[in-house]
């Protein structure tokens, strides 16, 4: 099963983060010109997600895969994308929400002193992003995130 790859325009930063949580390879085009975004989408085979009608039209004229999201609400946007591009549940929380890199599961002992002491004591599994040095674990937020996603259906 191939996993879709996205590029979100500057108005969709929060959506980009949520798509990463779902395991989608999602670039966030912060500070990029429309022409740069379209070129990156084309070069890397990414689906353009945008609130910009003009850029959406330009993408369609270039026969690119694109989706116009005009709702201005995260829940609606996320619901639309999930409905069309079904995420693989096995990929949940496998990408860094900050930089989009793949996360790597690391031994518990390797995170000692790098995560809060209470977290180290309560958790058994940890993931690390090599690019931005962020650590992840299955805390209470993990269940809230899953609940939010399940409520979208």
- In tens, the pLDDT along 93-107 reads 999 999 999 999 999
pTM: 0.90
Query: Mean pLDDT across the stretch 30-34?
Result: 95
CA dihedral of 11, 14, 18, 19, whole degrees rounded to 10: 20
Q: What is the DSSP string of the chain?
A: -PPPEEEE-GGGHHHHHHHHHTT-EEEE-TT--HHHHHHHHHHHTPEEEES-HHHHHHHHHTT--EEE-----HHHHHHHHHHHS---GGGTT-B-TTT-PBPEEE-GGGGTTTS-HHHHHH---EEE-TTT--EEE--HHHHHHHHHHHHT-
- In tens, the pLDDT along 111-121 reads 999 999 999 99
pLDDT band at 2 (very low <50, low <70, confident <90, very high): low
Domains of the chain: 5-91 (3.40.50), 104-151 (no CATH)
- pLDDT of 116 reads 96
């Amino acid at each position: 099963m191939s996993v879709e790859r996205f590029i979100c325009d500057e108005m969709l930063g929060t959506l980009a983060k949520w798509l990463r949580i779902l395991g989608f390879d999602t670039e966030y085009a912060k500070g990029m010109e429309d022409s740069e975004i379209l070129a990156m989408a084309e070069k890397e085979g990414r689906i353009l997600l945008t609130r910009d009608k003009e850029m959406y039209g330009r993408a369609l004229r270039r026969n690119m895969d694109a989706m116009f999201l005009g709702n201005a609400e995260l829940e609606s946007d996320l619901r639309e994308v999930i409905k069309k591009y079904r995420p693989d549940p096995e990929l949940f929380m496998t990408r860094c929400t900050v930089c989009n890199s793949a996360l790597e599961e690391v031994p518990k002992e390797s995170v000692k002193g790098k995560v809060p002491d209470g977290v180290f004591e309560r958790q058994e599994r940890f993931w690390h992003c090599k690019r931005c040095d962020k650590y992840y674990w299955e805390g209470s937020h993990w269940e809230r995130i899953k609940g939010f996603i399940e409520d979208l259906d």
